[in-house]
Amino acid sequence: MSENPQLTVMYRPECVAPAQGITSPSAAKPGKVVAAWREAGLPLRLLAPRPATVDELSLAHDRDYVEDVLALRRANGFYTRDAAVAASLPYTTGAMLDGARVAVAERTAVCAPMSGFHHAGWATGRGYCTFNGLMVTALALRAAGLVERVAIVDCDAHYGDGTDDILERLGKPAWLRHYTAGETFNNRGRTPRFFTELDRAIAGFGDVDLVLYQAGADPHVNDPLGGLLTTEEMAERDRRVFAAAAAAKVPLVWCLAGGYQRDDDGGIGPVLALHHNTALAHLAAFAR
The 10s digit of each residue's pLDDT in 131-156 is: 999 999 999 999 999 999 999 999 99
Q: pLDDT per residue over 230-273, tens digit each? A: 999 999 999 999 999 999 999 999 999 999 999 988 899 999 99
Which helix (H) or strand (E) covers residue 252, if one does? strand 252-255
**Positive/negative CA dihedral, 259, 179, 49, 90:** negative
Helix pair angle (231-248, 269-285), 10° resolution: 30
Nearest-angstrom CA–CA distance, 65 and 77: 12
**Residue 265 Cα to chain centre, angstroms:** 27
Q: Range with the lowest mean pLDDT among 63-77, 104-118, 188-202?
A: 188-202
Nearest-angstrom CA–CA distance, 213 and 109: 10
**What is the pLDDT at residue 2?**
45
* Residue 167 · residue 177 · CB < 8 Å: no
Q: How far apart are the two ends of the chain, measured CA to CA in Å?
A: 8
Q: Kindly tell me if the per-residue pLDDT of 183 is higher than 90.
A: no
Q: Range with the lowest mean pLDDT among 26-35, 57-66, 124-133, 145-154?
A: 26-35
Nearest-angstrom CA–CA distance, 283 and 288: 9
**Residue 113 Cα to chain centre, angstroms:** 7
Q: Kindly tell me if the per-residue pLDDT of 172 is higher than 50.
A: yes
Helix pair angle (161-169, 133-143), 10° resolution: 40
Q: Kindly tell me if the per-residue pLDDT of 77 is higher than 80.
A: yes
**What is the pLDDT at residue 19?**
62
Burial 165-187 (b: 16+ CB within 10 A, else e): bbbeeeeeeeebbbbbbbeebbe
How do beta strands 109-111 and 44-47 pair? unpaired
* Residue 122 half-sphere exposure toward CB, CA atoms < 13 A: 9
Which domains are seen in the chain, by residue range? 7-285 (3.40.800.20)
Burial of 243 (0-12, 13-18, 19+ CB in 10 A): middle
* Residue 44 · residue 51 · CB < 8 Å: no
* Residue 11 · residue 95 · CB < 8 Å: yes
Read off the pLDDT of each residue in 26-47 and give the average, rounded to a whole number: 93
* Residue 143 · residue 168 · CB < 8 Å: no
pLDDT-derived band at 226, boundaries 50, 70, 90: confident
